[in-house]
Amino acid sequence: MKLPVYLDNSATTPMDPLVLEAMLPYFLENFGNASSRSHVYGWTAEEAVDIGRQQVAELIGAHPTEIVFTSGATESINLAIKGVFENSGGKGNHMITCVTEHQAVLDTCAWIEQNGGHVTYLPVSKEGLVDLNDLEKAITDRTLVISIMYANNETGTIQPIQEISAIARKHDVLFFSDATQAVGKIPVDVEKDGIDLLSISAHKLYGPKGIGALYVRRKNPKVVISSQIHGGRHEKNMRSGTLNVPGIVGFGKACELCQNELDGATTAIKYLRDKLESELLKLAGTYVNGSQENRLPHITNMSFDAVNGENLLLEICREVAASRGSACSSVTTRPSHVLKALGLSDSMALSSFRFSLGRFTTLSEIEESYRIITEIIEKHRIALKLSAASN
Ligand SMILES: Cc1ncc(COP(=O)(O)O)c(C=O)c1O
């Protein structure tokens, strides 16, 4: 068994070897530019992009023409939110989001505020869910878009997406969902879910880093956004720049594999996640954060009472690669804004860990993980008690 055991799949997933295999020819022999229309190198690349686009679209129930390739979810989020605002034509200047969004959404919202827009940040319940009455009440005749993530990256909590989209539709407001953690892990269907804009990232679903997509609805309603990167008018002039052909091939293959494995893999991963969780819950003073009913199958976020979170992380990380929150904020010692929004104290938030499993996680890795974590926490608590007694 390779140590440390990798339980940080929400930060990034290892690439599936089948994805790498599909990509390799597009670095060497099939190196063409997908926009080159005058020779076979370009046609081959374009064909590969078309297949990738189809595979990505299929995973989310979209039409291929609704997929705009980007460098990842952060760019997709910026394009969706800024793109809607800059295209508002004076129709409005307000948006609604929630306090537990990923930093990519929150920082883009801050940019909107600095540029003349208004943002309402909805609170969440102890379970991490937005209140639908609060949401509806926050809508004004100046509201352009509701931006609520599909599932949270720290706790895995899944928002009531179809209810949110019904409210958005009723008030003629667009609905953007950051589905970076959900796509490939649970069924996501932009039609059934009533989503108008949706962000995805390949490296969260066993594809390569540096490639992602924004879904942009083409009818009922047709969504029009302003481009944020100008140049050669690629991607229907929504995102200029030479297409990352190997990345798109890998992204497409990764989506195809997720689609084929969705049911089986979900059951297996959930079984292992529940096993890890129930074994760790045997330790006194241990809690699970966020909704346990509406939750992604591969994440558990757990708090451990009576420990020093910082020291614990340092000890655990030698043998189990987990994290204290999102990868973007794992270097900070500030408590997670997500856990604080659920009502956790600073010290409890700092003593919380996200364990996220993946397609390649095995039962023996999970058994080893809870054995190690239990041992470290028990040792750690005894040491803390001894030092408190001697002071
Ligand atoms: C919910 C969520 N949104 C957005 C992102 C950013 O994705 P990317 O790394 O593709 O820019 C992440 C990655 O951690 C995420 O978990």
Q: Range with the lowest mean pLDDT among 1-10, 63-72, 197-206, 249-258?
A: 1-10
- What's the pLDDT score for residue 61? 98
Task: Look at residue 385 and tell me whether its pLDDT is greater than 60.
Answer: yes
Q: How confident is the model at residue 1 (pLDDT cuts 50, 70, 90)?
A: confident
Which pLDDT score, from 0 to 100, does residue 334 have? 87
Query: What average pLDDT does the structure give for the chain?
Result: 95
Tens digit of each residue's pLDDT (9 = 90 or more) over 276-292: 999 999 999 999 999 99
Catalytic residue among 98, 258, 317, 328: 328
Query: Are residues 6 and 14 in contact, defined by beta-carbon separation less than 8 angstroms?
Result: yes
Position 328 pLDDT exceeds 60: no
Which whole number is the average pLDDT over 197-222? 98
Alpha helices in 115-218 (DSSP H): 132-138, 161-170, 190-193
- Strands of the 286-288 sheet, one edge to the other: 286-288, 299-304, 352-356
To test the pocket of ligand 1, the residue of 74, 298, 324 to mutate (highest count of ligand atoms within 8 Å of its CB) is: 74
Q: Are 176 and 147 contacting, i.e. CB atoms less than 8 angstroms apart?
A: yes
pLDDT score at 263: 82
In a domain, 384, yes or no: no
Same domain, 220 and 295: no
Residue 42 or 313, more confident: 42
Residue 391 lies in a domain: no
Give the atom of ligand 1 at the shortest distance from the alpha carbon of 75: 11
What is the per-residue pLDDT for 326?
Answer: 57
* Same domain for 242 and 312: no
Q: The domain that contains 365 carries what CATH number?
A: 3.90.1150.10
Residue 288 and residue 252 share a domain: no
The pLDDT tens digits for 81-112 are 999 999 998 899 999 999 999 999 999 999 99
Q: Judge if 152 and 276 occupy the same domain.
A: no
**Nearest to 204, CA basis, from 356, 51, 331, 362:** 356
User: What is the Cα–Cα distance from 174 to 208, expressed in whole angstroms?
Assistant: 30
Note whether 82 and 116 are same-domain residues: yes
Q: Which atom of ligand 1 is nearest to the CA of 202?
A: 10
- 267 & 245 share domain: no
Residues 47 and 180 in one domain: yes
Dihedral angle sign, alpha carbons of residues 289, 370, 325, 261: negative
Q: How many CB atoms lie within 10 A of CB 230?
A: 11
State pLDDT tens for residues 115-148. 999 999 999 999 999 999 999 999 999 999 999 9
Ligand 1 pocket list (CB less than 6 A): 72-74, 102, 104, 149, 153, 178, 180-181, 201, 212, 326-327
Residue 64 confidence (pLDDT): 98
Ligand 1 centroid vs 282 CA: distance in angstroms?
A: 32
pLDDT-derived band at 59 (thresholds 50, 70, 90) equals: very high
Residue 10 alpha carbon, nearest atom of ligand 1 = 16
Contact predicate 373/320, CB 8 Å = yes
Q: What is the pLDDT of residues 296-307, one digit of tens each?
A: 999 999 999 988
**Residue 310 has what pLDDT?**
82
Is the pLDDT confidence value at 189 over 60? yes
Average pLDDT on 202-215 reads 98
Residues 287 and 221 in one domain: no
Amino acid 384: pLDDT: 79
Number of domain units in the chain:
2
The last residue of one of the domains, among 202, 235, 256, is 256
Q: How far is the CA of 105 from the centre of ligand 1 (A)?
A: 9
Is 386 among the domain residues? Answer: no
If asked whether residues 160 and 115 sit together in one domain, one would say yes
Do residue 285 and residue 210 come from a single domain? no
Q: What percent of the chain has pLDDT over 90?
A: 88
Probe target for ligand 1 pocket from 204, 336, 354, with the most ligand atoms within 8 Å of CB: 204
Same domain? 239 vs 279: no
| Same-domain pairing of 134 and 214 | yes
How confident is the model at residue 332, as a pLDDT? 56
Cα atoms in the 13 Å half-sphere on the side-chain side of 322 = 30
Report pLDDT digits (tens) over 224-240.
999 999 999 999 999 99
390: pLDDT confidence band, cut at 50, 70 and 90?
A: confident
Domain assignment present for 389: no
Task: Grade residue 327 by pLDDT with cuts at 50, 70 and 90.
Answer: low
Residue 348's nearest CA partner among 384, 294, 307 is 307
Query: Does residue 145 belong to any structural domain of this protein?
Result: yes
Q: Given a cut of 90, is residue 32 above it in pLDDT?
A: yes
Domain end residue (candidates: 233, 256, 279): 256
User: Can you tell me the distance from the alpha carbon of 40 to that of 381, in angstroms, rounded to the nearest whole number?
Assistant: 66
Q: In the predicted model, what is the mean pLDDT of residues 346-353? A: 93
- The answer to whether the CB of 122 falls within 8 A of the CB of 134 is yes
pLDDT, residue 2, reads 87
pLDDT at 324: 81
3-state helix/strand/coil string of 277-319: HHHHCCCCCEEECCCCCCECCCEEEEEECCCCHHHHHHHHCCC
Provide mean pLDDT across the span 339-343. Answer: 97
Residue 388 domain-assigned? Answer: no
Q: How far is 322 from 326, CA to CA, in rounded Å?
A: 10
Report the distance separating Cα 39 and Cα 34, nearest Å: 10
Final residue of a structural domain among 208, 237, 256: 256
Q: For the domain that residue 63 is a member of, what is the CATH number?
A: 3.40.640.10
Site to substitute for ligand 1 among 102, 103, 161, most atoms within 8 A of C-beta: 102
Instruction: Give, using CA atoms, the residue closest to atom 7 of ligand 1.
Output: 73
Task: Quote the ligand 1 centre to 104 CA distance (angstroms).
Answer: 7
328 noted as active-site residue: yes
Q: Which domain holds residue 57?
A: 17-256
How many whole angstroms from 202 Cα to the centroid of ligand 1?
A: 10
Within a domain: 390 = no
